[in-house]
């Protein structure tokens, strides 16, 4: 062992998840009115809802009512479904005789919510020996995403989650690998992959013993340099690293990965500075860092939750103070309740710029706003006025085609554009750039 972590002196808490079945209990305890209970019941017929005692007691500020960002982050909201869909669900759920029709309506709404954005199923799932590999995605040359089946849930669910389809109990919509054997075979055939992102859901919902069965085999893969773990557990259940029965064991497992010579990157999802303010979150961050793992922070920019430059400035400064690296501000993806949570690209670029200006140099590691779109990760650098009108300045940070990485291009400015497919690419853009984004942007007619 190369790093040491002192045992925590805190008292352990039992993790307990609350879902739609517990809405009356939550409402009675925190004073939610009847119409909110009904709304939560209706929306959660379609989209997942899950919170836990820590989120309820330490993150949500109940005095602020429904506008509270942590409440918006975790509780279904009016506006996440269209008025028409909401009315239909209310009507069908009122009569037990309509149960079958209700199920059909829910399936229909989910299909209209684009459950697998950015070509995840059609373009990202790799094949080997003629068979698709369940639970893997390979979009960028050097990185493979790995979805261990026991990690396909989270300690709480974000209302805006772009992976919502993982949580609705439909096996057809789910990415999941029962064990790492397929991944190991795939890595042996693809030595160009240096980086595995273990993701979900949240891999940190697994017990340490379970997580070990997924991570340790990776340490025998010579070509692998980095293991990333995508997680929101520090925000939603920091006890995972502090007081859970196997909290110390998971830190030992992290130490083992680091001692193997691999970089261990904990890709922590923080949506709001309040998530870093609790003593438990601070202790969790300290303990993770003491293992030698590096913590990178990322989150999408979300209306009603964090669409404010001051919030992002405070968030990135808090991350830096905790010894973590501010990494990405994402744009809300074109899936699920995007209409309710989206922030137009022009406004997003302004929020990013205003927050970025307030940062000390060491926090200016952050990039954004970034669309993780079908052809790759596209950052909106800003906009410019030219003799031919106003344009967004865009750039590939990452791309399916490695030759596009770092390449700038531009698209017609539109106040209300919120995703790549809302934009019209410059007809003067190089042919390979136009080909890469073809079908995901409109052709510019101007
Ligand atoms: S933690 Fe991540 S995967 Fe889980 S609900 Fe939130 S956004 Fe989705």
Q: How far apart are CA 351 and CA 343, in angstroms?
A: 10
Q: Are 305 and 73 in contact (CB under 8 A)?
A: yes
Q: Is the CB of 368 inside a 6 Å radius of any atom of ligand 1?
A: no
Tokens of 243: 């007081």
Cα angle: 414, vertex 416, 419; to 5 degrees: 90
How many A from CA of 271 to the centre of ligand 1? 11
Return the pLDDT at 173: 56
Nearest residue (CA) to ligand 1, atom 6: 158
Instruction: Give the pLDDT confidence score for residue 124 in this predicted structure.
Output: 81
Q: Mean pLDDT across the stretch 2-30?
A: 86
Q: From the CB of 299, is ligand 1 less than 6 Å away?
A: no
User: How much of the chain exceeds pLDDT 90, in percent?
Assistant: 82
What is the per-residue pLDDT across 256-309, written as a single tens digit (0 to 9) for each? 999 999 999 999 999 999 999 999 999 999 999 999 999 999 999 999 999 999
Q: Domains of the chain: which residue ranges?
A: 17-112, 373-446
* Ligand 1 mutation target, pool 174, 232, 338, most atoms within 8 A of CB: 232
Tell me: pLDDT of 346 over 50.
yes
CA–centroid distance, residue 410 to ligand 1 (Å): 31
Contact 406, 396 (CB under 8 A): yes
| Spatial separation of the C-alpha atoms in residues 420 and 157, rounded to whole Å | 26
Task: Give the pLDDT confidence of 328-337 residue by residue, as tens digits.
Answer: 999 998 888 9
How far apart (Å, rounded) are the C-alpha atoms in residues 342 and 332? 6
Pocket test for ligand 1, best of 17, 202, 270, 332 (most atoms within 8 A of CB): 202
Q: Whose CA is nearest to atom 1 of ligand 1?
A: 232
pLDDT recorded at residue 4:
57
pLDDT band, residue 444 (cuts 50/70/90): very low
Substitution site in 75, 161, 176, 372 for ligand 1 pocket (most atoms within 8 Å of beta carbon): 161
Residue of 157, 164, 233, 335 to test ligand 1 pocket, by largest number of atoms within 8 Å of CB = 157
Q: Mind listing the pLDDT tens digit for each residue in 210-242?
A: 999 999 999 999 999 999 999 999 999 999 999
Which residues have CB under 8 Å from 253's CB, separation 6+? Answer: 208, 211, 212, 215
Decide whether any atom of ligand 1 lies within 6 Å of the 157 Cβ. Answer: yes
CA dist 247 to 7, 10, 175, 241, 349, Å? 9, 12, 27, 5, 39
Would you say the CB of residue 154 lies under 6 angstroms from ligand 1? yes
The alpha carbon of 409 and the centre of ligand 1 are apart by a number of angstroms equal to 31
Write the DSSP string, 344-394.
Answer: -HHHHHHHHHHHHHTS-GGGTT-EEEEEE-SSEEEEEEEEEEETTEEEEEE
C-beta of 317 in contact with ligand 1 (< 6 A): no
Q: CA dist 424 to 127, 249, 373, 421, 427, Å? A: 33, 51, 15, 8, 9
Q: How many CA atoms lie within 13 A of 78 on its CB side?
A: 8
Minimum-distance ligand 1 atom for the alpha carbon of 50: 5
User: To which residue do tokens 């509780």 refer?
Assistant: 75
- Whether 161 is in the pocket of ligand 1, judged by its Cβ within 6 Å, is yes
Residue 131's pLDDT band, with cuts at 50, 70 and 90, is confident
Does 147 sit in the ligand 1 pocket, CB within 6 Å? no
* pLDDT surpassing 60 at residue 178: yes
Of the pLDDT bands very low, low, confident and very high (cuts 50, 70, 90), residue 2 is very low
Q: What does each C-alpha distance from 394 to 226, 368, 411 come to in angstroms? A: 28, 11, 7
Cβ of 175 closer than 6 Å to ligand 1, yes or no, is no
How many angstroms does the Cα of residue 163 sit away from the middle of ligand 1?
A: 7
Q: Are 440 and 373 in contact (CB under 8 A)?
A: yes
C-alpha torsion sign, points 31, 35, 36, 41:
positive
Atom of ligand 1 nearest to the CA of 201: 3
| Alpha-carbon torsion (168, 174, 175, 178), positive or negative | positive
For the chain, state the CA radius of gyration.
22
Using the predicted structure, report yes or no on whether residue 412 has a pLDDT greater than 80: yes
> How buried is residue 276: exposed, middle or buried, by Cβ count under 10 Å (0-12/13-18/19+)?
buried
89 Cα: distance to centroid of ligand 1 (angstroms)? 25
For 223, half-sphere exposure in the C-beta direction (CA atoms, 13 angstrom radius) is 16
């Amino acid at each position: 062992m190369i790093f040491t972590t002192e045992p925590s002196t805190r008292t352990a808490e039992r993790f307990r998840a609350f879902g739609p079945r517990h809405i009356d209990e939550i409402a009675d305890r925190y004073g939610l009115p009847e119409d909110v209970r009904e709304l939560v019941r209706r929306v959660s017929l379609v989209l997942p809802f899950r919170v836990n005692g820590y989120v309820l007691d330490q993150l949500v500020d109940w005095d602020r009512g429904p506008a509270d960002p942590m409440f918006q982050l975790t509780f279904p909201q009016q506006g996440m479904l269209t008025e028409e869909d909401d009315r239909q669900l209310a009507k069908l759920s009122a009569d037990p005789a309509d149960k079958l029709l209700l199920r059909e309506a829910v399936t229909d709404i989910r299909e209209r919510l684009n459950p697998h954005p950015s070509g995840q199923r059609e373009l990202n799932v790799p094949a080997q020996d003629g068979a698709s590999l369940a639970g893997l995605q390979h979009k960028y040359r050097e990185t493979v995403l790995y979805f261990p089946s026991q990690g396909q849930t989270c300690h709480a669910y974000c209302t805006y989650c772009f992976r919502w389809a993982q949580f609705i109990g439909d096996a057809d919509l789910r990415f999941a690998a029962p064990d790492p054997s397929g991944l190991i075979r795939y890595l042996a055939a693809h030595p160009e992959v240096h980086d595995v992102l273990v993701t979900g859901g949240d891999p940190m919902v697994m017990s340490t013993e379970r997580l070990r069965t997924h991570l340790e085999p990776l340490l025998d893969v010579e070509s692998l340099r980095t293991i990333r773990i995508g997680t929101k557990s520090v925000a939603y259940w920091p006890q995972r690293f502090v007081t859970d029965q196997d909290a110390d064991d998971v830190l030992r497992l992290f130490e083992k990965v680091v001692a193997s010579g691999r970089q261990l990157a904990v890709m922590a999802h923080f949506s709001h500075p309040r998530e870093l303010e609790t003593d438990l979150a601070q202790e969790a961050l300290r303990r993770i860092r003491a293992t030698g793992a590096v913590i990178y922070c990322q989150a999408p920019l979300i209306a009603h939750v964090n669409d404010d430059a001051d919030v992002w400035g405070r968030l990135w400064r808090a991350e830096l103070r905790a010894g973590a690296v501010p990494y990405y501000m994402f744009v809300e993806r074109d899936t699920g309740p995007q209409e309710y949570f989206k922030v137009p690209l022009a406004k997003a670029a302004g929020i990013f710029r205003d927050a970025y200006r307030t940062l000390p140099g060491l926090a200016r590691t952050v990039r954004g706003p970034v669309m993780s779109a079908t052809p790759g990760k596209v950052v909106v650098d800003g906009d410019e006025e030219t003799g031919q009108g106003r344009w967004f300045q865009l750039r590939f940070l990452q791309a399916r085609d490695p030759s596009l990485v770092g390449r700038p291009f531009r698209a017609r400015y539109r106040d209300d554009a919120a995703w790549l497919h809302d934009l019209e690419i410059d007809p003067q853009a190089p042919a390979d750039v136009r080909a890469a984004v073809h079908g995901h942007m409109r052709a510019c007619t101007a």
